[in-house]
Structure 1
């Protein structure tokens, strides 16, 4: 089936999401490695992405590990620095697709409050035709349920969806449901895929 709608992940597809890079720069790589070994910060973030409160989830976690209290709180205090910068060519692709009236959806693991914050910094997050944000849905990728919910709502058959995500497990889950997929590694590679699908010209894709 030809592509009927394009689905973008957000973190590391439209916006860089690199907590480790931020912690290395601010606290040093050795301290970061020690803390990440002791504290499941990504698991903490998953709870936010499933709809948990943004600040309270992080600050409560910080109280469990007094030796890392300041660093864990920084996940909230400096969150936007971890979720930056935007990936310009990917934003161009989003806008180029919409300019051609090709439906474009977002499907992202993102907290309710953190996504609202990100919208104040990245206006393009308001430009999708439909947005499927895990915090509102209370389920995260790669749980099959989130893909089922997208299918039920969007009105496009699974085979008509082309989904870009940077994580292999999220791509595998979409593949299992019959979606067309693209493992995002570089914006140029994603641009070439959209050109190969006949959705954009090379010029439109910034190639």
Structure 2
């Protein structure tokens, strides 16, 4: 067991607390698998989507792509239109862990790469996202993980002691970003592993 005293626990959201998969609506919108893979690799790419997480307006993002790929306008606009289908369920065991930590008196906050409007939509779909003390949404901060600055911004906003902070994220580069900011961090893979990782830091749920 670690000798570190963890007082602050920071959760990522997508693929830690709620599921995210653009293929869910797009398997209907673009039924051909090869065509769908091409679309995500060349049109609505990860790099394109992450700019909305950085704060770019959806309409601007759509117009840019439509100018480049005019024959795909309907599919491009479908990305935002059907976003709610991409987040179909919560990870119930992980939400339970978060709620248990809050009940035990740990200081729990959220740090997420998320567009501002879709985050507000997610809070309506999943009210447990309002339970932690607060959240840093990348689009509102104008910064995205794994930029060290977003972890520093979050720590300053919520008065976190980095050496007493544990971050949970499903992406290793984001875990490494947190560590570069002086936080402790673990890679999320499944609820049982998360419980073991928390226990290794002296946090029992």
TM-score (norm 1): 0.89
Q: Alpha-carbon deviations, 1:122-158, whole Å to 9, x = none? A: 1011111121111110110011110111122222221
- The answer for unaligned runs of 5 or more in structure 2 is none
In structure 2, the partner of 1:197 is 201
> Which of 70, 75, 79 pairs up with 1:71?
75
- Residue 171 of structure 1 and its aligned partner are, at CA, apart by 0.8
CA distance in 1, matches of 2:126, 2:68: 33
Q: Counterparts of 2:60 and 2:140 in 1: how far apart (Å)?
A: 17
Of residues 114-123 and 39-48 in structure 1, the stretch that sits farther from structure 2 once superposed is 39-48
Is contact 1:54-1:114 (8 Å) kept? no
The 8 Å contact of residues 30 and 36 in structure 2, kept in 1 or not, is answered as: yes
Match of 1:205 in 2: none
CA distance in 1, matches of 2:59, 2:123: 17
1:90 to 87, 90, 94: 94
Is the 1:53–1:113 contact (alpha carbons within 8 Å) kept by the matching residues of 2?
A: no
Which residue among 148, 161, 169 is the counterpart of 1:157?
Answer: 161
Aligned to 2:145, the other structure's residue is in SS state: coil
Rounded Cα–Cα distance in structure 2 between residues aligned with 1:86 and 1:98: 18
Question: Is residue 19 from structure 1 mapped to residue 19 from structure 2 by the alignment?
Answer: no
Of 163, 184, 189 in structure 2, the residue corresponding to residue 180 of structure 1 is: 184
In structure 2, C-alpha distance between the alignment counterparts of 1:25 and 1:190, rounded to whole Å: 34
With normalisation by structure 2, the TM-score equals 0.90
Preserved contact between residue 7 and residue 162 of structure 1 (Cα < 8 Å): yes
2: distance between equivalents of 1:134 and 1:91? 21
- Counterparts of 1:35-114 in structure 2, within 5 Å, are 35-114=39-118
Distance 1:55 1:117, change over 3 A: farther
The one of 9, 12, 20 aligned to 1:9: 12
Aligned with residue 124 of structure 1, among 128, 131, 134: 128
Deviation at 1:57, TM superposition (A): 2.3
Change (3 A) 1:198 1:9: same
Cα root mean square deviation, aligned: 1.7
Q: Secondary structure at the match of 2:140?
A: helix
In 1, the alpha carbon distance for the partners of 2:90 and 2:58 equals 21
